[in-house]
Amino acid sequence: PSRLAVCLDLDWRPQFRVDAVPSYKAHRVAEGSDGSAEEVPDTLTPQVDMIMDVLDAAGIATAGAAGLEADDVLGTLAAQEKTDTVVVVSGDRDLLQVVADDPVAVRVLYVGRGLAKAELFGPEEVAAKYGVPADRAGAAYAELALLRGDSSDGLPGVKGVGEKTASTLLLRHGSLRDLRAAAADPAGDVAKGIRAKLDAAADYLDAALPVVRVVTDADVRLSRPDVLPRVPADSARLDKVAAELGIERSVARLVTAMATERS
């Protein structure tokens, strides 16, 4: 790539999402000895500081938005790009909702199963793998996730509706909005059992859609221009940090990759 930004969680559990769905990421929080809530486990923070040191010395941009998750930053940068093809690299399937062909190609390199099994998704691939309408694959994937639930984020989903059923319903009706409209219409083409399940989950469906959707209009701040440098911004400091952390080989691979000729 000629441009690169590493996107950050400035709030890993945004309050607006917790207010809408209290169970959102609640399994990642425990009560401390003083009765306060604390993240469990907090082993990542020291590593983040180390990573930030490496990125800064290398001259690689970071991006964040106050009160929002990295997913929202990625979604915003992808939505705002009007010139270059975008590849979002993530191990979070939630980002599949940002795939697009217009105004630029936005693809997601999903690395949730490791780099060796990385998958590149565009709208066509999302539609084929998850059984959602191809003409709105990204948005439909978010609705699929809402219906089936996501235990990793503490989203319960609609009880009794799994991924296969959610896919069938979205393919038949086109969107969650049209599905719910059909379910509310006595003459609508929705089975009685599905009507009952959707009706029972009405409050959840009303509240959770903004939780599942990534923000695409965040106030994103970049630490520096996102042009990927050919050489580190501060080679001496980068070497020092690498030696202190014992990651000389990893940093050497990074420097080699930065210097690689780009088309």
239 is a domain residue: no
What long-range pairs does 130-138 form, CB within 8 A, spacing at least 24?
130/96, 130/163, 130/167, 131/164, 131/167, 131/168, 131/170, 131/171, 132/167, 132/170, 132/171, 133/170, 133/171, 133/174, 133/175, 136/174, 136/175, 137/99, 138/96, 138/97, 138/98, 138/99, 138/100
Number of alpha carbons in the 13 Å side-chain half-sphere of residue 254: 22
- Inside any domain, residue 234: no
In a domain, 220, yes or no: yes
| For residue 29, pLDDT beyond 80 | no
For 213-232, what is the mean pLDDT? 97
pLDDT tens sequence across 38-49: 555 567 778 899
CATH number, domain of 68, equals 1.10.150.20
- How far apart, in whole angstroms, are the C-alpha atoms of residue 224 and residue 157? 39
245 belongs to a structural domain: no
Cα distance between residue 34 and residue 142, in whole Å: 38
pLDDT at site 31:
56
Q: Has residue 242 been placed in a domain? A: no
- pLDDT reported for residue 30: 61
Mean pLDDT, the chain, rounded, equals 93
Report how many domains make up the chain: 1
Q: How far apart are the first and last CA of the chain?
A: 8
Q: Is residue 211 part of a domain?
A: yes
Give me the residues paired with residue 100 across strands.
Answer: 106
Please report whether residue 262 resides in a domain: no
Query: Which pLDDT does position 42 carry in this prediction?
Result: 63
> Which residues form the domain of 100?
5-228
On whether residue 238 sits in a domain, the answer given is no
